[in-house]
Amino acid sequence: MARRLAAAGWRLGLAARRLPKLEALASELGTGTVIRAIDVASSERARVELASLLEALGGADLIVLSAGTGELNPDLQWGPDRQTIDVNVTGFAALAQFAIDHFLQRGRGHLVGISSVARFRGSGDAAAYSASKAFVSTYLDGLRDKVRASKLPIAVTEACPGFVDTAMMKADKPFWVATPDRAAACIHSAIRRRAKHAFVTRRWALVGWALRLLPA
């Protein structure tokens, strides 16, 4: 996604937990890219670091929140579920709220949050992950309603990926697996269209529709 946005002419601020990877990417993208180490699980500190990043950039017109975690946890151990909630719920909400406050003060902007097709259905093997992504989607809906009332040109996009070929993919028999580049292309298209919702890839809309109809 960073490479696509840079190619489209955006000046980038990049944040993640692992600073060496950010430094390598920033070096590839060239001068002007600003980086910060942010651990989303430490939500209050993450807000401070995001503020620092936005100050260094002189503000932002687009914020993409893609940090997320999740583990298969069929034995319902508390540690993995707590980590998922800290990152996907508390951390996400802390930064999404901060982003919307920034856009309201700026008078414009675009927030993109990465949810998941998993948000449509609870999972016995990954209960916290599915629930956390349902939170992400519903929270984005609420923020969209908030900015609609402001009548400012602020967009809120919910991206719902299916399986993407990254370390996050834990399924034994995945299908319709997208490459990271293909997933980034789908989300970039949604950004250009300022879409409210986007499935990654679009065929996953069929799965989302089916999951809505299946009995609980």
177: which DSSP letter?
Answer: P
* ∠ CA 140-36-62, rounded to 5°: 35
Task: Categorize the per-residue pLDDT at 213 as very low, low, confident or very high, splitting at 50, 70 and 90.
Answer: low
Where exactly are the structural domains of the chain? 61-213
Mean pLDDT over 75-91 rounds to: 96
pLDDT, tens digit (0-9, with 9 covering 90-100), for 4-18:
999 999 999 999 999
Residue 88 pLDDT greater than 70, yes or no: yes
Q: Tell me yes or no: is domain 61-213 CATH 3.40.50.300.
A: no
pLDDT averaged over every residue in the chain: 92
pLDDT, tens digit (0-9, with 9 covering 90-100), for 121-176:
888 999 999 999 999 999 999 999 999 999 999 999 999 998 888 877 666 667 78
If one compares 213 and 141, the residue with the highest pLDDT of the two is 141
Task: Categorize the per-residue pLDDT at 207 as very low, low, confident or very high, splitting at 50, 70 and 90.
Answer: confident
pLDDT confidence of residue 172: 66
By mean pLDDT, which of 27-31, 43-47, 67-71 is the weakest?
27-31
Is-catalytic flag, 139? no
Residue 71 CA to residue 167 CA, distance in Å, equals 11
Which residues in 34-175 belong to E strands, given as ranges?
Answer: 34-37, 62-65, 109-114, 154-161
Residues 129, 135, 139, 204: which is the catalytic one?
129
Helix (H, G, I), strand (E, B) or coil at 199: strand
Structure tokens at 164: 């993407």
C-beta separation of 29 from 6 below 8 A:
yes
What burial letters (b/e) apply to 110-126, b meaning 16+ CB within 10 Å?
Answer: bbbbbbbbbbbeeeeeb
Dihedral, CA atoms, 164, 185, 119, 15, nearest 10 degrees?
Answer: 90
pTM of the model: 0.91
**What percent of the chain stands above pLDDT 90?**
79
pLDDT confidence of residue 171: 64
Residue 102 pLDDT greater than 90, yes or no: yes
